[in-house]
Amino acid sequence: MRVITLFLTLWTYLSAMDNNLYPYADFYRQEGIDTLEKRLDHILTTKEFWKQKIGDSNVTLGWYEKPLDILACKKSDKRLTLYHFDGKQYSVKLKIPIVIGRRNGDKQRQGDLKTPVGIYRIIEKKRDVDPFYGPLAFVTNYPNPLDKTLGKNGNGIWLHGFPPNCPDKNSTKGCIASPNTELLSLDKNLTDHKSSLLMISQDKIPPVSRENIINILSFIYSWRYDWKYNRLNEYLSYYNSNLKSSIGDFESFKKHKTYIFAKQQNKEILFYNIQITPYPNTLGKKIWRVNMKEKYFSNNYKFNGTKLLYIIQEGDKFKIWREF
């Protein structure tokens, strides 16, 4: 089935692109489908491929394969900017004033009155809320998976409105709040709250360059290559020694993967709908959040869901720090 699928995919491209892929067809004629597949997998690891793929896309707030909205909140400015990414460029849809937690700094625990710093998803829009929260509230996924590994706790971090007859509200217990008319305008301009990202930074958003994105994509697909072809030592070299994952710490992860790789199983690993976002933090680290859909197929295991990585960058080197 895999051979048929790959052959049909190549045939479709050949039909659509005249003779651009004829050399690959000739390579297949002489070397076979497995060798061709491995060569194509290697091409995906190259920076040249990703330079072509990204093209002149704007990467100011990261790189995304599908359109989405980003709500960028700068705590120091007490302002939230709604950006829309159309698959190539960003546009500013709205800017609204906000108030934040009455204490400065990154949220660590329940009741510390601080607003968290990081990247969050909006997991729910509540319309039936207590009037204290205004006309509606967006519920975030604080604490996110990274927060939990750092020992952060608490819950109920919302983006909501103001209580009635309280136009001069100047702080919250940790939530982000905006005047009711502004919040309603945000709701109207938000394309899809479930696919949007909330980026909360203490001051400026971490800078992003095209080179950053190209290097990260090359890193991800090099990691995938060694994973797919059971190159255990090379695969483990992509991980930080302080790894925390759904399997456990680095030693637990290594033990599990050593067992799996020893089987030398054929596997298919596909990534799509990739999102690469600079992760604001107060740790003094350069962190990238990589969220993508993954399809994994082997003889005895199948997975079709979300892969979430937090990647640490030190100089021009990358390591997977968290994996879920």
Q: What are the residue ranges spanned by the domains of the chain?
A: 1-40, 44-58+208-323, 66-201
- 42, 73, 84, 160: which is the annotated catalytic residue? 160
Res 31: pLDDT: 79
Angle at 317 between CA 238 and CA 272, to 5 degrees: 60
Two tokens, residue 110: 């329940």
Res 57: pLDDT: 97
- pLDDT per residue of the chain (324 residues) written in tens, 0 to 9: 555 555 556 555 555 555 667 777 777 788 788 888 999 999 999 999 999 999 999 999 999 999 999 999 999 999 999 999 999 999 999 999 999 999 999 999 999 999 999 999 999 999 999 999 999 999 999 999 999 999 999 999 999 999 988 867 899 999 999 999 999 999 999 999 999 999 999 998 999 999 999 999 999 999 999 999 999 999 999 999 999 999 999 999 999 999 999 999 999 999 999 999 999 999 999 999 999 999 999 999 999 999 999 999 999 999 999 999
The class level of CATH for 66-201 reads: mainly beta
Question: Is 193 an annotated catalytic residue?
Answer: no
Task: Return phi, psi of residue 160, to 5°.
Answer: -140, -175
Res 4: pLDDT: 53
Res 169: pLDDT: 87
Rounded Cα–Cα distance for residues 134 and 277 (Å)? 30
Residue 142 · residue 120 · CB < 8 Å: yes
Residue 118 · residue 141 · CB < 8 Å: no
CATH code for the structural domain at 44-58+208-323: 3.10.450.50
pTM above 0.75, yes or no: yes
Interhelix angle 2-16/22-31, rounded to 10 degrees, is 150
Rounded Cα–Cα distance for residues 21 and 162 (Å)? 59
- 42, 84, 166, 175: which is the annotated catalytic residue? 175
